[in-house]
Amino acid sequence: MSNLGNVVVLKRLADTRWSTHADAIHALSNGYSLIEKALETLMGDESQTRETRHDADGLFRKMKKFETVLLTVFWCDILSEFKKTSKYIQHEDSNLQEVTNQLESLSSYLTDIRNQFDDYESRAIVKSFSEVAEYSDLLKRSKKRSTQVKFYEGNAENTVFSGKECFRINTFLPVIDTLKESLERRAKS
């Protein structure tokens, strides 16, 4: 706690409230480097249990990944929009038409940011929470895909995506699509 100073303190999440998720990611975003320092201090503190030091080391390593920085920037935006919409919907003066408009606006927002991956990547680099500005796959050995040919198939093609494309296709887009689909399902019910 002494390493965090005046930063909003991270708290346990309540699964049912968007606002707690937004507050948690906002605290992480604003105090990223201080949290890294706190974890580093825990890792080296011999008075801590071995398990605590090990957990701190694992979290520290995750925070050093560029993907974590990118997701922090991305989720901070998304959850702040969900928090604003949620607060508006819960306001006692809201009517059904206004609630519908807010949900449509949130859905439109998700559609808009779907094409803004490069902007989020740039913001993550500029914000530079971490010294690492490369995707973790660039730091690993590449895995070879089996090219075994079966009698009914042609040659298997090796499609290799860059770390950026792999992250965009396997993480960024599915998150947005899942949120949008869930939002539209809830709006209909």
- Structure pTM? 0.78
**Burial degree of 187 (CB within 10 A; 0-12, 13-18, 19+):** middle
Structure tokens at 100: 């519908």
pLDDT of residue 14: 61
User: What mean pLDDT is reported for the chain?
Assistant: 82
Residue 70 confidence (pLDDT) above 70: yes
Q: Which of 12-16, 100-104, 110-114 has the highest mean pLDDT?
A: 110-114
Give the burial string for 105-138 (b: 16+ CB within 10 Å, else e): ebbebbeebeeebeebbebbeeeebbebeebebe
CA dist 63 to 10, 107, 130, 167, 171, Å?
A: 15, 30, 7, 16, 17
pLDDT of residue 54: 96
| Domain boundaries of the chain, sorted by first residue | 1-63, 66-141+150-189
pLDDT of residue 58: 95
Percentage with pLDDT > 70 across the chain: 75
Q: Which of 13-27, 70-84, 120-134 has the highest mean pLDDT?
A: 70-84
Residue 164 confidence (pLDDT) above 80: yes
Residue 90 confidence (pLDDT) above 90: no
Residue 77 confidence (pLDDT) above 90: yes
Neighbours of 156 (CB within 10 A): 12
pLDDT tens track for 165-178: 999 999 999 999 99
Question: Cα–Cα distance between 14 and 31 in angstroms, integer?
Answer: 20
Give me the mean pLDDT over the 128-132 stretch: 58
How large is the angle between the packed helices 18-30 and 66-90, nearest 10 degrees? 140
Cα 101 to the center of its chain, rounded Å:
26
pLDDT tens track for 141-161: 455 555 555 555 555 566 677
Q: Where are the beta strands (DSSP E) in the chain?
A: none
pLDDT tens track for 18-65: 778 888 888 888 888 888 888 999 999 999 999 999 999 999 999 888
**Are the beta carbons of 3 and 37 closer than 8 angstroms?**
yes
Higher pLDDT, 39 or 6: 39
